[in-house]
Chain A
Amino acid sequence: MSVLKSGTLSQERIVFLFAVVLFAAYALLLDGFLAPNNLVAILRSVSVLGILAVGMGIVVIGRGIDLSMVAVMAMATAWQLAMMNAGTPPLLATAIVFAGVVAVGIINGLLIAYAEVPAVFATLATASFVFGLVRSRFIVQDAVPVPPSASFILEFGQARLAHMPIEVVMFAVAAFLSFVALRFTKFGRYVYYMGDNYQAARTMGIPVRPMIIGQYVVSALVAWLAGLITAAGLQSINTRVVNSTLLYDVILVVVIGGIGLSGGKGGMRNVVIGALLIGIMLNGMTILDLPNIYQNLIKATILLVALIIDSRLNPRDEQVGQQGDI
């Protein structure tokens, strides 16, 4: 405890050290781990996860949580592809889906900021709603392929920039843009002020409720971007991902990177470190041919440990407890 408190060992550093140690151990013990192709594969495997974590990170810093991200990611993309398959011009389909995604973000924000529904429940409900609506009304199968006419999407998915797959590039771009937004814009500072002390931010005259709406609109748009990138890479989008553990992996990345669930702490650096650790870990376990169920067990254990360290490092005192976190 004293070591953890002294500041020399923040959670971020622990995670970073752990990632380095794990990387070194795999490099020594596993054949083929250090091959350039494998290293790129690690980055590629965490890119979509990382992009989702960028959006989630912004919301969590503002003392919220968005459980509708995976649903928005899959269903927005599926709806868009379905429309294009049915012959809607790509630009029109994109515009319609854009409006839909923004609407979901606004509804989340309205529920949380004005109706004062806890973020966990509000976003859980919109997740089910979005999934149910799109699955029942707009698509006919679980998986929606990219229409053959839209070859530009396929080409985009195969594109490489500086030898890096497009997913990795997009993750880097998303993380960098969010970094700039959080660090250097008024919006970004407001997110931190709000996450640190909502009541103080409100009394200061910061427009906290419009800010909450803005946050969830951003996370919804980021989720949609992740969906498009997934579809471009896999040539289709499978809506079953909504019922997978992807959402928990996103939270895992955010929390393990050191963005406290109590808000106001951490930044994009933490998301990147968290994503890298997960990527290294999962890649090694795959090479070791560990069955999926054990991988889940290990991930779950690590998430628990990260949460415990988080609550140790960022103890919630009585007053924070009264305001409630997430």
Chain B
Amino acid sequence: MTLIETRTLSKSYRGNLAVDAVDFDIAEGEVHALLGENGAGKSTLTKMIAGVVPPSSGEILLDGKPVTFGGPADALKQGIAMVFQETSLVPSMTVAQNLYLGDEKFLNRLRGVAISAQQFLQSLNFTVDPTATVATLGAAKRQMVEIARAVRLKARIIIFDEPTATLTPEEKRHFFALVRRLKERKVAVIFISHALEEALHISDRITVMRDGARVVTDVTANFTREKIVRAMVGRTLASGDAAKKTAVRPAGDKVLSVQDLSMGAIVKNTSFSIFAGQITGLFGLVGSGRTETAKIVAGVMKRDFNRGGEVALDGKPVRYNTPRPAMQDGIVYVTEDRKLEGFFETMSIAENLYSGHLAAGQNKIPVVSRAEMTQLAESWGRTLNIRAINPDARVVELSGGNQQKVVIGKGLVQKPRLVIFDEPTRGVDVAAIAEIHHLIEKLADDGLAVVVISSYLPEILKLSDRILVCRQGRVVEEFSPLDASEERIMYASVH
């Protein structure tokens, strides 16, 4: 029988529809996989179901009765639990304490808690030591504790957001065994994933989402890998996106070559090269390590000290411990998160652009020149077509598109030879997207080596002269945009 159902459920953030009138339902004891590209609206949909974000419109029916949740605690009371990618356990406490968190008796004897936790874990057939400190556990065991906590709180629906992304193959097998046990207990499981094989393997039904809307829901037996990929990318092409590339820029000199680059469990032995005078598109889903790879190249992050691989700029090996030497060698990384590490929010456009100029050491004496700053702001403001109500406006007051242009501008002021754009058009309006695309193409025409990281396939296909696909921490395939299609790229990036 149907446990929970959504009817035309929608969520919009500042006018952008993240979830668009989605009907979704799940029955008890069902494992329902939710698939789609980055930004397809999977996480937002499940967050609404779990009461983490309130819906903009539409309704949620629990056991056939409409419900609204005041927050995640409220939803939990009604039996809906969400297990997040970053776990929500208290690392310094034991497993038992975490299980009973928020539910302690007035006289909270640790021994008593540990004993009842032990019994409870045994009843679930979970092999976790209740007296172990959570910080010492691996990712899979932590997930077990989270699941146990959800079950203890009588959760009837458990939502997993990318549960297997950080697990080893052995841990994955454990995880799937757990899901099966939950199924036997008539718990409904919603499973968000990029791993198609896993979804095909474990789920009863599959729903594919794209651009905030539901594309298809069907029993798993009716799906194949190809069919899912087609559903994930088969968007109706908007005008402009449709233009298939007919020519690519030829590769210039090899600017950057990366050999066997590794960083922890995120970047694993990746190798690729970047050439001057063309745009290299880097595509990958969440957890593919593409941002981390770019950050290592630009010195924002550090590769492993031992067996970290090699990075060579113009054939000379380099190792950057901070971004400054990378910047001095002409590598600029334009961040995907402009608010967190992009712009200086209390400052004006001019001051933001000038920061790049100062950091690059382009002024001879270490003295600030207002005139120089104004002139810089004017010329770059014109080049980038930054529109502000007044020139002294603080960057935080600008629209997303103009903020992005400021962040790009303050990188370009440094006169780089290699620019890495990470999601250059995220949260940017349509007009500004066209302008930013134009700007990126012009940089490549001027002979710079340009890398564009994007989750949006049409953007990758439109801009790139070469397409690299990242999967599980490494570049796995290279395409030419002339013969690549969205399906082929997506097929290479899922696993």
Q: Does B355 contact A (CB under 8 A)?
A: yes
- Which parts of A176-193 form the interface with B (CB within 8 Å)? 183-190, 192-193
Chain A interface: which size bin?
20 to 34
Q: Of B1-9, B253-261, B343-351, which stretch is located at the interface?
A: B343-351
CB of A199 within 8 Å of the partner chain: yes
Q: Does B41 contact A (CB under 8 A)?
A: no
Partner of A193 from B328, B333, B344, B363 at Cβ < 8 Å: B344
Spot the interface stretch: B187-195, B318-326, B431-439.
B318-326
Q: Which of A197, A205, A319 contacts B324 (CB 8 A)?
A: A205
Inside 8 A of A206's CB, which chain B residues have their CB? 324, 355, 358-359
CB nearest to B333 among chain A residues? A203
8 Å CB contacts to A: which residues of B421-441? none
Inter-chain CA distance A202–B355, complex, in Å, is 11
Identify the closest chain A residue to B295 (Cβ): A203
A residues 121-160 with Cβ under 8 Å of B? none
Chain A residues, Cβ within 8 Å of B358: 186, 189-190, 206
Measured between alpha carbons, how far is A190 from B344 in the docked complex, in Å? Answer: 11
> A263: nearest residue on chain B (CB-CB)?
B346
Q: Whole-angstrom distance between the alpha carbons of A186 and B339 in the complex?
A: 23
Contact of A200 among B298, B322, B343, B414 (CB under 8 A): B343
The size class of the interface chain B forms with chain A is 20 to 34
Check: B61 CB closer than 8 A to any chain A CB.
no
> Nearest CB to that of A186 among chain B residues?
B366
> Is residue B130 contacting chain A, with contact meaning CB distance below 8 A?
no
Residue B335 at the chain A interface, CB threshold 8 Å: yes
Given contacts A184-B368, A186-B367, contact A319 B327 (CB under 8 A): no
CA distance A199 to B335 in the complex (A): 11
* Besides A184-B367, A197-B341, A201-B355, 20 new A-B residue pairs in contact (Cβ under 8 A), listed by A number: A185-B366, A185-B368, A186-B363, A188-B368, A189-B354, A189-B355, A193-B344, A193-B355, A196-B344, A199-B340, A199-B341, A200-B341, A202-B323, A203-B323, A203-B341, A204-B323, A205-B326, A205-B327, A205-B360, A264-B344
Q: What is A's interface to B at a CB cutoff of 8 Å?
A: 183-190, 192-193, 196-197, 199-207, 209, 264-265, 319, 322-323
Chain B residues at the A interface, C-beta cutoff of 8 Å: 298, 300, 322-324, 326-328, 333, 335, 339-347, 351, 354-356, 358-360, 363, 366-368, 410, 414
22 contacts between A and B (CB under 8 A): A185-B367, A186-B358, A186-B366, A193-B355, A196-B344, A196-B346, A196-B347, A199-B341, A200-B341, A202-B322, A202-B341, A203-B341, A204-B323, A205-B326, A206-B324, A206-B358, A207-B324, A209-B322, A264-B346, A265-B346, A322-B340, A323-B340
